[in-house]
C-alpha cells in the first residue's frame, strides 16, 4: 500500500471537518466504531479495553461470561474526543480468575449501537498452564498481515507485540514527525483485517522500538519522543507507573512474570561516528534499578525480560552490544543474586535466532518479522555456531508454560508463515 503525504494530510483534514456535523442517527456499527475492541492488562480480577470511534461519542463497554451478554456488566461512560484521536481505554472490574469473558463497545442510542465482540480469558491464581505468542515488526507496505491469522489459530492466552508496531518513517520521503502523521500510521496498520480480528480475540501487550518514532532514535530526539509517545499510548493500552514512561510488568498465573523494557527513549545519544562511550546507558538509571528490583522480587519460576532489541548479539550496532558495560552489570546482578529462570525475548533483527544459555549464560529468543523486509545477514556465522537461524520466512514464537509433577517447564516453538514448526526446545527453570 503506497499512500502519499498529500493523501495522509487530506485524510486528517477531512476527518476534522466532518466532526462538527456528525450524528449517529441511522448509522451502523462499522460507521461508528472504526477499530477495536482490543483487550490488554488482564489480571485475575480486571482488564483494560481499547476502542476507537469515528467521532465524539458517549460510550462504555458491556462485558459478560457468555456471548449473548446475559447478566452483563457495564463500565463507566467515557467520552471519546479528538484530544485522543477518538480512542478510549475502559477499565473492567470485578472479574473472576481463569474465566472467559466477552465484551463489546456500546453507545446507548435508540436503538443502541454495538461494536464487534471481543473475548479474553483471565489468568488463574494457581499453577495453571498457559501459552502465548510473540513477534514484532509490521510495516504497512507489507500488508496483508497474514501471520496474525496463523497466531490466532493457536488460541494463545495473550500476545506480546515486540516493537515496531508501525513504521512511521516509511516511506521516508513521506515521513512527518507530527502527531497527525503518527496517528495516521497507527490507523494505516490497524486497518488490516487480519490484525483487527486477531486483536479482538487475543489480549495484547505492546512496547515500542524505534520506528514508532524514527529509525534508531535515542534520548536526544526530545520533542519527537513526546509526540510519538502520546500516539503510542493512544493506540495501545499501557500500564506504566508514569505517563512519561512505557516500561511495565505483568504476571500470568503463578508460573511467569513479564518485565517489558523500553530500550529507546532513555538510551544515551551517540557521541561520535564510532557510536557510544563505555559508560553509555540503554535503560537509564531509573529503569535499570526497576528491572533489578522486579527480578529480585519475582517468585515465579520463569521471568521473561522483553527487550525490543537483541541482547546477545556481537558487534551489532544499535543493540545491547553497543552497551556492554550496562549489559555486564545486569548479567552480574543476575549471577550475584542467583536468579534463575530468566528468558529474554527480543525482535528488531528481522530474523529468528535462538541464543542458547551458553551465550552470556542466559537464553534469548529473537523473533520476527511479522511483515517487514527479511534479513539474512550473518546466517552462516550463527549456523556455524550451531544456533537455530531463520530468515526465509515471516515467523512467530509460541511459548507453552506448564507444571508437570510439580516441575515447571517451558516449551519454545518457532513457526514460519506457513505455520510449519521450524524449531522447538523444552526445559525447566533450573536448566
**Domain spans of the chain?**
25-121, 130-268+278-428
What's the pLDDT score for residue 16? 46
Each of the 431 residues of the chain gets a pLDDT tens digit; together they read 444 545 444 444 444 444 444 554 456 677 899 999 999 999 999 999 999 999 999 999 999 999 999 999 999 999 999 999 999 999 999 999 999 999 999 998 889 999 999 999 999 999 999 999 999 999 999 999 999 999 999 999 999 999 999 999 999 999 999 999 999 999 999 999 999 999 999 999 999 999 999 999 999 999 999 999 999 999 999 888 788 999 999 999 999 999 999 999 999 988 766 677 888 999 999 999 999 999 999 999 999 999 999 999 876 788 999 899 999 999 999 999 999 999 999 999 999 999 999 878 899 999 999 999 999 999 999 999 999 999 999 999 999 999 987 899 999 999 999 999 999 999 998 88
pTM: 0.93
Quick one: residue 119, left, alpha or beta (phi over 0 = left, psi -120 to 50 = alpha)?
A: beta
Is 374 exposed, middle or buried (CB count within 10 Å of its CB: 0-12, 13-18, 19+)? middle
CATH class given for the domain over 25-121: mainly beta
- In the three-class reduction of DSSP (H, G, I as helix; E, B as strand; rest coil), residue 67 is classed as coil
**How is residue 275 annotated by DSSP?**
B
Q: How far apart are CA 50 and CA 429, in angstroms?
A: 34
Distances (CA, A) of 73 to 109, 113, 114, 423: 18, 16, 15, 43
Inter-CA distances, 126 with 86, 202, 342, 377, Å: 38, 21, 20, 43
Q: Is 50 helix (H, G, I), strand (E, B) or coil?
A: strand
CATH of 130-268+278-428, one of 3.60.21.70, 3.40.50.11810, 3.30.460.20, 2.60.120.260: 3.60.21.70
List Cβ neighbours of 142 (8 Å cut-off, separation of 6 or more).
Answer: 371, 372, 373
CA atoms of 396 and 132, how far apart (whole Å): 10
- Do the domains at 25-121 and 130-268+278-428 have one common CATH topology? no
Amino acid at each position: 500500500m503506497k499512500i502519499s503525504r498529500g493523501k495522509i494530510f487530506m485524510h486528517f483534514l477531512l476527518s476534522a471537518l466532518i466532526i462538527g456535523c456528525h450524528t449517529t442517527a441511522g448509522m451502523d456499527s462499522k460507521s461508528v466504531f472504526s477499530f477495536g475492541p482490543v483487550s490488554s492488562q488482564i489480571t485475575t480480577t480486571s482488564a483494560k479495553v481499547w476502542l476507537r470511534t469515528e467521532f465524539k461519542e458517549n460510550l462504555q463497554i458491556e462485558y459478560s461470561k457468555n456471548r449473548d451478554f446475559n447478566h452483563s456488566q457495564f463500565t463507566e461512560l467515557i467520552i471519546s474526543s479528538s484530544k485522543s484521536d477518538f480512542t478510549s481505554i475502559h477499565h473492567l472490574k470485578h472479574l473472576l480468575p481463569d474465566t472467559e469473558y466477552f465484551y463489546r463497545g456500546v453507545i446507548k442510542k435508540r436503538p443502541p449501537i454495538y461494536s464487534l465482540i471481543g473475548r479474553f480469558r483471565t489468568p488463574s491464581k494457581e499453577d495453571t498452564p498457559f501459552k502465548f505468542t510473540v513477534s514484532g515488526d509490521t510495516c504497512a507496505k507489507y500488508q496483508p498481515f497474514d501471520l496474525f491469522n496463523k497466531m490466532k489459530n493457536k488460541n494463545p492466552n495473550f500476545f506480546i507485540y515486540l516493537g515496531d508496531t508501525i513504521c512511521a518513517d516509511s516511506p521516508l520521503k513521506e515521513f512527518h514527525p507530527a502527531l497527525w502523521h503518527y496517528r495516521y500510521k497507527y490507523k494505516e496498520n490497524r486497518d488490516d483485517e487480519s490484525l483487527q480480528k486477531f486483536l479482538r480475540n487475543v489480549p495484547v501487550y505492546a512496547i515500542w522500538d524505534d520506528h514508532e518514532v524514527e529509525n534508531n532514535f535515542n534520548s536526544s530526539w526530545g520533542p519527537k519522543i513526546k509526540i510519538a509517545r502520546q500516539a503510542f499510548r493512544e493506540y495501545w493500552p499501557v500500564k506504566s507507573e508514569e505517563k512519561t514512561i512505557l516500561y511495565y510488568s505483568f504476571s500470568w498465573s503463578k508460573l511467569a512474570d513479564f518485565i517489558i523494557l523500553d530500550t529507546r527513549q532513555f538510551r544515551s545519544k551517540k557521541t561520535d561516528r564510532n557510536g557510544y562511550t563505555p559508560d553509555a546507558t540503554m535503560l537509564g538509571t531509573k529503569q535499570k534499578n526497576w528491572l533489578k528490583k522486579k527480578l529480585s522480587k519475582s517468585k515465579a519460576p520463569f521471568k521473561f525480560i522483553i527487550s525490543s532489541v537483541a541482547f546477545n548479539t556481537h558487534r551489532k550496532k544499535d543493540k545491547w552490544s553497543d552497551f556492554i558495560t550496562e549489559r555486564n552489570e545486569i548479567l552480574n546482578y543476575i549471577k550475584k543474586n542467583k536468579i534463575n529462570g530468566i528468558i529474554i525475548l527480543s525482535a528488531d533483527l528481522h530474523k529468528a535466532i535462538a541464543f542458547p544459555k551458553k551465550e552470556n549464560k542466559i537464553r534469548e529468543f529473537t523473533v520476527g518479522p511479522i511483515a517487514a523486509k527479511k534479513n539474512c545477514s550473518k546466517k552462516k556465522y550463527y549456523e556455524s555456531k550451531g544456533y537455530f537461524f531463520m530468515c526465509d520466512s515471516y515467523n512467530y514464537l509460541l511459548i507453552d508454560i506448564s507444571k508437570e509433577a510439580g516441575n515447571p517447564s517451558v516449551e519454545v516453538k518457532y513457526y514460519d508463515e506457513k505455520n510449519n514448526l521450524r524449531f522447538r526446545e523444552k526445559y525447566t527453570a533450573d536448566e
